[in-house]
Amino acid sequence: MKNQILGALALTAAVMAAGPAGAARDLPPPAPDGGYRVIAQGTHSGIESRRQIVIEDAGAFRTLWAEHAAGTMPAPPVPEVDFSRDRVVAVFAGSQPTGGYALQPSPPEAAHGRPKIRFTLKRPGPNCMATQAMTQPFAMVRIPKSKSKVEIQVAETTVDC
């Protein structure tokens, strides 16, 4: 009986330490190259229009994060970024009519001496089951700072379910 109680307590502690469901999706581990990291990604944002932004300083990032987190209670904490070394590329897909939409970033590439980062907006195909609720897909990535201007490309694709 004592072992069962200890086992139940250990399981409860492990579940509580893991945090809320979905938290791992918001902060995935760094990519193997070490210079690119998804810092936030999801389907609900206070930013309802299409937007592509490169953020170079903490003040601008806090302002963007406040707009992004508007309407979320409790507001998620602002991800930590060292703007002396990194910058943030944020893409917002605007309001979409249903679930099933997602923005997927790819690691940056060099194009003509400039960093280029691609995002793919995936939308549900006609045979996909999707929630009947508005969504606002977004993705934010941290990349190394440089003097070069970042090129952002967004491609759209339909997922065939």
One DSSP character per residue, 54-108 reads EE-SHHHHHHHHHHHHTT-SSPPPPPP--TTTEEEEEEEE--BSSS--EEEE---
Residue corresponding to tokens 């139940």: 8
Per-residue confidence at 148, pLDDT binned at 50, 70, 90? very high
Token pair of 70, please? 């508007």
Instruction: Tell me how far the alpha carbon of residue 111 is from its chain's centroid.
Output: 24
Class of residue 20 by CB neighbours under 10 A (exposed 0-12, middle 13-18, buried 19+)? exposed
Q: What is the DSSP letter of 8?
A: H
Contact 48, 94 (CB under 8 A): yes
pLDDT at 33 over 90: no
The mean predicted confidence, pLDDT, of the chain is 83
pLDDT at 44 over 80: yes
At 114 the pLDDT is 86
Contact 138, 91 (CB under 8 A): yes
Per-residue confidence at 3, pLDDT binned at 50, 70, 90? very low
At 110 the pLDDT is 84
Token pair of 48, please? 């309802």
Per-residue confidence at 138, pLDDT binned at 50, 70, 90? very high
Average pLDDT estimate for 39-61? 97
At 37 the pLDDT is 94
Q: What is the DSSP letter of 18?
A: H
> Backbone phi, then psi, for 82, in 5-degree steps?
-90, 100
Per-residue confidence at 90, pLDDT binned at 50, 70, 90? very high
pLDDT at 63 over 90: yes
Per-residue confidence at 11, pLDDT binned at 50, 70, 90? very low
> What is the spatial distance between Cα 67 and Cα 119, in angstroms, rounded to a whole number?
21
Average pLDDT estimate for 145-160? 94
At 21 the pLDDT is 34
Instruction: Tell me how far the alpha carbon of residue 14 is from its chain's centroid.
Output: 25
